């Protein structure tokens, strides 16, 4: 028992040291491979992220109530999460978090303060489990899109694209999505405009500044 406790202590110390070395800033956008099973696998299959990596979640770093953490749409609503909890969700084979961090390029930094304020103001908004636009709820990528909307030369900072729930090279939907939307008693929103973490991570507006874990290719 003592040995397990000591190993856990060393692990969380290593995360803390990494955070100090990284020096996150408010406005940084962090991408994560949640490894949540069939649904995450379906998301990863249709859109690759930065350098071919798989991302199924994204959040924004903010300073909230004198604590640096992230605002994210996850679970039932938009919420604030500490960095250690965020980094402790999924790991590579060596125990490092499957997370990379991006930062807006200098040209777009004027929009960061307002985006962070809008992210904080979004706390409590319901999670958009149907992944539909303009329905008074937000999924993770939609949150990032919304808080930067119309801040860069009166145009959205990140571009929307038609979303697909079909298996690549096929007209068949992923079984996981069929089951998911059947439980919601809702049609699969194939072709609806939206955004996912992979698309954001490949945006020309972002510079990737740090990578924690190692992705299997």
Q: Which of 46, 78, 149 is nearest to 70 (CA)?
A: 78
DSSP 3-state assignment of 5?
helix
Give the model's pLDDT for residue 22: 60
Residue 96 above 80 pLDDT? yes
Mean pLDDT check: name the lowest of 15-29, 46-60, 71-85.
Answer: 15-29
pTM exceeds cut of 0.85: yes
Average pLDDT over residues 211-216: 86
The set of residues, in sequence order, having a beta carbon less than 8 Å from that of 92 and lying 6+ positions away, is 98, 213, 214, 215, 216
* Number of Cβ within a 10 Å radius of residue 74: 19
Cα–Cα distance, 70 to 185 (Å, whole number)? 32
| Segment holding 82, helix H or strand E | strand 77-82
Q: How confident is the model at residue 217 (pLDDT cuts 50, 70, 90)?
A: low
Q: Which of 187, 56, 70 is nearest to 120 (CA)?
A: 70
* Number of Cβ within a 10 Å radius of residue 103: 19
Residue 147's alpha-carbon distances to 7, 114, 150, 217, in angstroms, are 39, 8, 9, 32
Cα–Cα distance, 44 to 31 (Å, whole number)? 13
Q: How confident is the model at residue 173 (pLDDT cuts 50, 70, 90)?
A: very high
| DSSP assignment of 16-81 | HHHHHHH---TT-EEEE----SHHHHHHHHH---GGG----EEEEEEEETTEEEEEEEETTEEEEE
* CA pseudo-torsion sign 16, 21, 123, 180: negative
Cα–Cα distance, 55 to 184 (Å, whole number)? 24
For residue range 25-72, list pLDDT tens digits in order: 999 999 999 988 899 889 988 888 999 999 999 999 999 999 999 999
* Number of Cβ within a 10 Å radius of residue 108: 19
CATH domain 23-211 topology: endopeptidase fold (from Nostoc punctiforme) (3.90.1720)
Residue 153 above 60 pLDDT? no
User: In this structure, what are the phi and psi dihedrals at residue 182, rounded to the nearest 5 degrees?
Assistant: -65, -40
Give the model's pLDDT for residue 19: 47
Q: How confident is the model at residue 9 (pLDDT cuts 50, 70, 90)?
A: very low
Mean pLDDT check: name the lowest of 43-52, 54-63, 170-179, 190-199.
Answer: 43-52
Spatial contact of 81 and 69, defined as CB atoms under 8 Å apart: yes
- Quickly tell me which residue has 């003592």 as its tokens: 2
């Amino acid at each position: 028992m003592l040995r397990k406790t000591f190993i856990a202590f060393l692990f969380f110390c290593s995360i803390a040291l990494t955070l100090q070395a990284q020096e996150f800033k408010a406005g940084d956008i962090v991408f994560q491979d949640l490894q949540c099973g069939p649904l995450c696998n379906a998301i990863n299959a249709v859109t690759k992220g930065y350098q071919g990596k798989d991302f199924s979640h994204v959040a924004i770093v903010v300073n909230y109530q004198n604590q640096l953490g992230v605002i994210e749409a996850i679970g039932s609503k938009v919420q604030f999460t500490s960095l250690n909890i965020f980094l402790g969700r999924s790991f590579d084979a060596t125990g490092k978090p499957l997370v990379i961090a991006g930062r807006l390029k200098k040209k777009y930094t004027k929009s960061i303060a307002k985006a962070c304020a809008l992210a904080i103001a979004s706390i409590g908004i319901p999670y958009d489990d149907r992944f539909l636009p303009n329905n008074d709820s937000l999924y993770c990528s939609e949150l990032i899109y919304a808080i930067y909307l119309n801040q860069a030369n009166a145009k959205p900072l990140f571009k929307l694209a038609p979303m697909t729930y079909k298996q690549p090279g096929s007209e068949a939907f992923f079984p996981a999505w069929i089951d998911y939307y059947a439980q919601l008693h809702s049609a699969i929103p194939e072709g609806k405009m939206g955004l996912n973490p992979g698309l954001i991570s490949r945006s020309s507006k972002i510079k990737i500044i740090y990578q924690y874990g190692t992705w299997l290719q």
